[in-house]
């Protein structure tokens, strides 16, 4: 069995397994916890053998497209590398030709090996182990891998694009693949080989160099919308009969994967600054200090980095204070709320770390009310307000104040409020003269008279995917429930919905609006389906969210000026071919659909403008 042409990475290269510091070092993408001295030169390592590398941030590296760039570390940095590699499974059958002339198709004429005149004239091939044994003008050239196996040997055809080798394989959609082979030239006027997939020629023409030396060539291809069997080919573009003689071996077609790895390199902090406070004295690196000041300690750290510590020291003492306070209802002191009179002590450590205390002599007059309310009339917005006393006082006087200036001196108040944010104030005065305002903030919503449904751009939609905007007036604190008529819902005052229209004639949209007091109102509108097909002649796939897809929901085929098929499907053409945006130009389309039970084909031109 022959070796594959690319490695399949299962594990990452581990250069350093523990955290250590040296003047210059190597760090693999599998290493974490690496810490270095400032300005250390580090060589980053990704797994070798990948097709491509992309390191970030590129500006901090010697090179960003190799597996082992250099960088100088001045601060903590995270590096990221993305590389492309094959999965190790060859989809080509008998790509090394060890099975003989089987498993593939060639438009060349096959000749059974029969001496040194086997491969005459042009346009014929055989599968054999030695070029010299099938053509008297060629040298002894053996297969690419073992030197004793088979390979395809050809006397080049004089017609360009002539198919040397062809095979059908199965691929997955939106997947990168590598199509590769090895080839050798026997005489001057070398063959010019090129890959082709589904009739589309890929990459640059590969002209064989020198003679009797195996050469590797490949192309990376993305399957896009292809799913299942495709036809892959190897073509010869050389037309001259003199020379144009070649061999092919180890053809492979393999899935590619992208992998992203990161590694973080930290820097030792070699210049530390400390700010400390202490009571009476402070001991630092074996020395006791009794005065405030700035002190410096120079040393070499465990990693060999020249380092220093600077201490800004403040020496202080504890404090003792006494407070006298009076309050209505409650008093909060150092995070504790007190509802009874008394003497309270708070022991603490001040900002300088010294033991300190505060004494509070407190007198409390307790008032504690809450306001409950309910909506009595949805349309008129009449509310009832009821106080709830959770304190221990009696015979309190209550006075209600409303935003329109009305005042009600009673235990319970009923009053109409205007639309908007409103504040109701309850003033409570105790027998001891302690007075306190209790406020209730509420949002009064307008009645539902103006909740009409608006449609943008129109209430007439077309089959396929059709998007409409539905909106109504916005009110804070209101719940919106849009029943779009197709089993889905939206929950905002302004919504955008896409209908997947097939055979429906209309959709009934129902809007249910509920405010915070559970007052409910409904509105409805009918969305009609226009089943006529109106195809635009231009579209702008520029990614701005408008007119980015051509004929979404219709089965279409798109051809370029040369007649090549560049798109087929019913998801809408996004203006790309093989994941690249096509140039501004005019393209030909064919659309197939059913109308009134009849199959209809529509053809025309579409102009791409970006």
Q: What is the pLDDT of residues 273-305, one digit of tens each?
A: 888 888 888 898 889 898 888 989 888 777 777
Residues in the chain: 610
pLDDT at res. 284: 87
85-98 confidence digits (pLDDT tens): 888 899 999 999 99
Q: How confident is the model at residue 448 (pLDDT cuts 50, 70, 90)?
A: low
Of 469, 466, 467, 465, residue with least CA distance to 456? 469
- Model confidence at 35, pLDDT cuts 50, 70, 90, reads confident
CATH number for the segment(s) 96-249:
2.60.120.260
What does the pLDDT read at residue 17? Answer: 30
DSSP string, 581-594: EPPS-EEEEEEEEE
Domain 448-529: CATH superfamily, name plus number: Immunoglobulins (2.60.40.10)
DSSP state of 450: G
| Cβ(75)–Cβ(83) below 8 Å | no
Tokens 């290493």 locate to 31
- Domain spanning 369-444, CATH class: mainly beta
CB 153 within 8 Å of CB 132:
no
For 375-399, how does the pLDDT look when each residue is reduced to its tens digit (9 = 90+)? 888 888 899 999 987 655 567 889 9
User: Is pLDDT above 60 for 607?
Assistant: yes
Give the mean model confidence (pLDDT) for residues 306-320: 84
Whether residue 11 has pLDDT greater than 70: no
Mean pLDDT of the 147-166 span = 94
CATH number of 538-608: 2.60.40
| Fold match flag (369-444 vs 448-529) | yes
**Ranges of each domain in the chain:** 96-249, 271-316, 320-365, 369-444, 448-529, 538-608
Provide the percentage of residues in the chain whose pLDDT is more than 90: 44
**Beta strands per DSSP E along 366-434:** 369-377, 382-389, 397-401, 407-408, 413-416, 420-429
Average pLDDT over residues 178-196: 94
Closest CA relative to residue 554, chosen from 579, 578, 571 = 571
For residues 558-568, average pLDDT: 92
The residue with greater pLDDT, 67 or 165, is 165
What's the pLDDT score for residue 24?
A: 54
Is pLDDT above 80 for 470?
Answer: yes
């Amino acid at each position: 069995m022959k070796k594959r042409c690319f490695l399949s990475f299962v594990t990452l290269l581990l250069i350093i397994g523990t955290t250590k510091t040296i003047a210059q070092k190597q760090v693999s993408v599998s290493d974490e916890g690496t810490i270095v001295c400032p300005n250390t030169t580090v060589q980053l390592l990704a797994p070798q053998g990948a097709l491509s590398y992309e390191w970030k941030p590129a500006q901090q590296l010697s090179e960003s497209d190799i597996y082992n760039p250099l960088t100088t570390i001045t601060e903590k940095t995270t590096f990221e590398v993305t590389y492309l590699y094959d999965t190790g499974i060859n989809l080509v059958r008998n790509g090394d030709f060890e099975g003989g002339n089987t498993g593939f198709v060639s438009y060349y004429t096959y000749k059974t090996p029969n001496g040194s005149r086997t491969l005459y004239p042009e346009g014929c091939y055989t599968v054999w182990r030695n070029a010299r044994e099938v053509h008297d003008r060629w040298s002894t050239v053996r297969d690419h891998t073992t030197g004793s196996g088979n390979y395809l040997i050809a006397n080049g055809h004089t017609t360009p694009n002539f198919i040397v080798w062809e095979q059908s394989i199965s691929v997955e959609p939106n997947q990168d693949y590598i199509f590769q082979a090895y080839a050798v030239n026997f005489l001057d006027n070398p063959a010019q080989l090129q890959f082709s997939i589904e009739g589309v020629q890929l990459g640059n023409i590969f002209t064989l160099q020198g003679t009797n030396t195996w050469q590797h060539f490949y192309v990376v291809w993305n399957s896009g919308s292809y799913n299942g069997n495709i036809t892959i080919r190897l073509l010869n573009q050389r037309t001259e009969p003199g020379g144009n003689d070649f061999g092919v071996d180890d053809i492979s077609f393999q899935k590619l994967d992208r992998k992203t790895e990161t590694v973080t390199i930290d820097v030792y902090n070699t210049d530390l600054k400390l700010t400390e406070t202490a009571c009476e004295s402070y001991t630092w690196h074996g020395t006791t200090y009794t005065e405030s000041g700035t002190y410096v300690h120079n040393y070499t750290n465990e990693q060999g980095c020249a380092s220093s510590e600077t201490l800004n020291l403040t020496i202080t003492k504890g404090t003792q204070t006494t407070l006298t306070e009076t309050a209505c209802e409650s008093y909060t002191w150092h995070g504790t709320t007190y509802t009874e009179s008394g003497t309270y002590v708070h022991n603490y450590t001040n900002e300088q770390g010294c033991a300190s205390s505060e004494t509070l002599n407190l007198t409390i007059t307790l008032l504690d009310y809450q306001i409950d309310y309910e909506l009595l009339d949805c349309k008129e917005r009449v509310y009832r307000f009821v106080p709830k006393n959770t304190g221990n006082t009696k015979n309190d006087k209550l006075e209600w104040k409303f935003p329109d200036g009305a005042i009600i001196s009673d235990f319970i108040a009923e009053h109409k409020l205007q639309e908007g944010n409103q504040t109701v104030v309850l003033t409570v005065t105790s027998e001891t003269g302690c007075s306190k305002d209790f406020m209730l903030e509420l949002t009064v919503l307008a009645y539902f008279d103006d909740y009409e449904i608006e449609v943008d751009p129109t209430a007439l939609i077309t089959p396929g995917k059709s998007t409409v905007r539905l909106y109504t007036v916005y009110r804070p604190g209101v719940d919106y429930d849009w029943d779009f008529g197709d089993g889905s819902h939206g929950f905002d005052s302004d919504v955008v919905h896409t209908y997947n229209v097939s055979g429906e004639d209309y959709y009934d949209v129902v809007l249910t609006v509920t405010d915070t007091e559970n007052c409910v109102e409904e509105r409805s509108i009918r969305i009609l389906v226009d089943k006529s097909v109106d195809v635009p002649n231009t579209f702008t796939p520029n990614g701005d969210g408008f007119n980015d897809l051509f004929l979404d929901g219709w089965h279409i085929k798109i051809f370029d000026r040369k007649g090549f098929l560049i798109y087929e499907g019913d998801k809408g053409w996004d203006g790309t071919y093989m994941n690249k945006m096509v140039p501004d130009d005019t393209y030909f389309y064919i659309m197939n659909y059913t109308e009134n039970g009849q199959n209809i084909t529509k053809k025309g031109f579409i102009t791409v403008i970006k």
